[in-house]
Chains A and B, each alone.
Chain A
Amino acid sequence: MAKIFFEDVVKPTVFSKTKISFNLSALYDKLWEYAIFSLAATGAIIIVLIFVFIFMKAWPVFQASGLKVITTSNFEEQIRHAYFAPLDEQLWEFGLLSLIVGSLTTALGALFIAVPAGVGTAVIICEMSSGLLKRFLEAATRLLAAIPSVIYGLVGLMVVIPLISDRLLNVELQIKYLEYFQLNGYSMLAGIIVLSFMIVPLVIALSVDAINAVPRKYREASLALGITKWRTIIKVVIPAAKSGILAGVILAAGRGIGEAIALSMVSGASANMPSLRHGFVFFLTPVLPLASAIINKSQAISVPSIEAALFSCGVILLVICAFLSISTRIVESAVRRRQGLD
C-alpha cells in the first residue's frame, strides 16, 4: 500500500522536470479525450437521428389519423385499401390498436409465465444448489440466452402449435369460431409460450445478479433469528433484491415487445382483436404484434402510405420501449428509497 502511494506521488514530479514531455503527454491526453468524446457524440447523434428519421417517415399517418392510430383497429382492411389506392390519392389512415393489443398481450402473458419461472430458477441457482447442479443450471441459462429467436420460432412451429391444436381445439370449436378467425393453433397462446422461453434467461440472469448482491449479513441475521431457510428467501432475500429483479422484468418486457421473427412464425400473423367475450378462446386468437407487422407487411412497402404505416408501428414500439426503460429507472429509485438505501 505504502509503496504504491509513494510512487503515485513521485511520478508527476519526475515528469514535470522535463517540461516538453509533460506538455506532450498532456496533449496526448487531450487528443484522446476529444477523440473519444467525438465518438461518443457521434453515437448519440446517430441515435437521435434514427428517432427523427422514424418519426418523420411515420408523420403522415399520425397527421391523418390522429389519435385513431391507437384507438381503432382495422389494420388488414386498411392495408388492402391503401395498397389498391391510386398513387395520387393515398390513404393515410391506419388504426393499430389490434397490433398494440397483440404486442401487449403476448408480452404480458409471457411475463406471467417467465417471471415466476425465472425468479424461481434464480433462487434455486443462488440459494439452494451447489456444485454440479448449480453449474448445470447456469450453463443452461446461458445457452438459452444465446439461441437465436428464429430457432425458438421453429420449435414453436413444430412443437407448440401441434400441441395446442391437438389438446385445446376440436372441430366444433373451429367451426364455431371460423366466423371470426381461424382456430388452428397459430395464436396468442403459442406466441406467449414461445416468448416466455425466450425471455426466461433474461429474468434469470438479472435476478441471479440481484440475489447475489443481497448482503450476506441479511441472510445470517434472519437465520440467526431462527427463521427457516425458505422463509428467509421469501421474506428477506427476494424483497432485498426486488429492484434488481424488477429491472430484469422490465428489460424482459422490452425484449418481448420488440420480438418479431419468432412471433410472426407462431402467433397467426393476422391482425385480430382478441375479445374477452370469447372466454378462453381469447388466448387462441391469432394476433399480429407490432414488430411482426413490420416484417409481414413489408411486401407492400413500395406503397408510400403502407411504408408510413409500418414506420408508425415502429414509432409506437419505440415509445413503448422508451417508456419501459424510463420506468425501470423510476421503479429502481422508488424501491431503493423505500428500502432506505438512498
Chain B
Amino acid sequence: MTSRKVFVMLGLVFLLVCSMASVSLAADICIVIDGKQVATDVAPVLEDNRTLVPVRVIAEGFGARVGWDGAKQEVKIKTAANDIVLTIGSKNVTVNGVRKTLEVPAKIIGGRTMIPLRFVSDNLGAEINYDSSSRTVNVKYFSNMAGTLKIGGSTTVQPISEKIALELMKMNKGLSITTAGTGSGDGIKGAGEGRYHIGNSSRAIKEAEIKEYGLVEHQVGSDGIAVIVHPSNTVSGLTRQQVFDIYTGKIRNWKEVGGKNAPIFVQTREEGAGTLGAFVELAIQAIDKNAKITPTAAPHGSNGLVKQAVARGENNIGFISFGYIDSSVKALKIDGVEATAENALAGKFAYVRPLVVVTKGAPTPLAAKFIDYHTSPQGFKILEEENYLPMK
C-alpha cells in the first residue's frame, strides 16, 4: 500500500514540476541586444498577436536616455538621432516632433512601460527578429551598422573613440571607422568643414563655433581635471582661489600655501589642448574673466608629458585629466575635496568638464549610433576603464 502511495505521490510531484517548468517557459520571452541577453524584471508579453516590450531596458541598451514625467504620464526617449515622446494609454507618439500612431497604446505592466516591438524597429533604426521557437527577441542596434565613419579631435576623447571603433568594427563586417587625435580645436573645425563625421572635443563648444558651422553637440561623458604635484610635496590640498593665484603668478612660493620655502614651477599645456581650454575656463576664468596663465609657465604637448614633468620636478605643479593620474604624482584636494571619480560624479569636485562630440547638423544614422554607443552599458564600461566619467 505504502509503496503505491509513494509512487502516486512521486507521479504527482513530477507532474507539478513539469507543469511549473512549462508555465515558466511560456512566460520567458528573452531579449537579446547585439548578441547579449538583457536582464528584464518584466518580461515581454504577447497581446493581440503583437509583442510588447519594456521600452526602458531596450532604449538604454541603445544608449538612449529615458525620462519619465509622472504628471503628464509621458515617457521621453532621447538618442543622438531621435527624440521620442510616448504617452501612457495613448496611441499617439511624437518622433522628432512628428506625430505618429502606435498599433496598440503604450501601457504599464509591473511598473514598466511596454510598447509594441514594431515601433522600436521602425523608429529607432534597430533591426528586430522574433524567434518563436526559442522565444527570443533578437535586437540588432550596434550590430547592423555598415559604411565609413571619420572621427577626429580631442586627444582626451581619442582613446574612447578608438576603443568604441574597435568594438563596433568587431561586430560589423561592413563598417570602417578611422579615428584621429588632433586636438579639440581641429575636431570642431573638422566636423564643421566636413572632414570628420564626428568631431571630438574635451571642452564646451564656443557659441561662435556652433553658429559658424551649424554644429550640434552631444555630451558623451565627463572628465575631471586634477591638479597634481610631486609625491614628496608636503602640500596636500589647495583652495580654488590658491590654484587661481598660483596659475596667474600671484603666489610663487610653496610656503605661501603651507609648503616649504621653494619656488612654484607652473606646468601648463600648449595652446589648442582641450584640457588647457577646460582648465582655463574652470579654474581661471571662473574667478576672473580677464585673467590668464602666467607667462613663465612651462608648456607641454600632452597630458602624459605634464605628468612626467611633475613626477620629475619636486617644485612643479600641473593639471591633467583624471584618466592619467597614477602613483608617480600626487593629486591635490581642491577645497578639501579629493580628486576622485565619485566626487566628480556627485558634483563636489570643482574641475569637471564635459566630453563632447559634435556633428554638422543632425548626425547621420551611422554617426548617431556611434555617438549612442558612448552612453550604452558597453560604452559606460569603456569610459570607466579609461577613467572617465560616464553619463549615468
Contacts and interface: CB of A to CB of B under 8 A. Distances in A.
Given A83-B272, A184-B313, A302 B296 contact: no
B271 interface: yes
B315 interface: yes
A302 B295 contact: no
Interface in A57-76: 76
B299 interface: yes
A178 B252 contact: yes
A303 interface: yes
A86 B262 CA distance: 40
Nearest to A79: B271
Interface in B270-328: 270-273, 292, 295-301, 313, 315-316
Given A87-B212, A171-B261, A171-B263, A77 B299 contact: no
How many interface residues does chain B have, given as a range? 20 to 34
Nearest to A302: B186
A183 B262 CA distance: 12
A174 B185 CA distance: 35
B236 interface: no
Interface residues of A, number: 30
Q: Pick the most buried of B262, B265, B271: most chain A CB atoms within 10 A of its CB.
A: B271
Given A286-B298, A297-B270, A299-B272, A178 B212 contact: no
A13 B39 CA distance: 96
Interface string A185-201: 01000000000000000
Contact of B252 (A175, A186, A268, A301): A175
B208 to A, nearest CB: 6
B177 to A, nearest CB: 22
Given A83-B185, A87-B212, A299-B273, 15 more contacts: A76-B299, A77-B295, A171-B261, A174-B262, A179-B296, A182-B266, A184-B265, A184-B315, A270-B298, A270-B299, A297-B271, A299-B272, A300-B271, A301-B272, A302-B189
Closest 7 CB pairs of A and B: A300-B272, A299-B272, A302-B186, A174-B263, A300-B271, A83-B271, A299-B270
Interface of A: 76-77, 79-80, 83, 86-87, 171, 174-175, 178-184, 186, 268-270, 286, 296-297, 299-303, 306
Interface of B: 182-183, 185-186, 189-190, 208, 212, 252-253, 261-266, 270-273, 292, 295-301, 313, 315-316
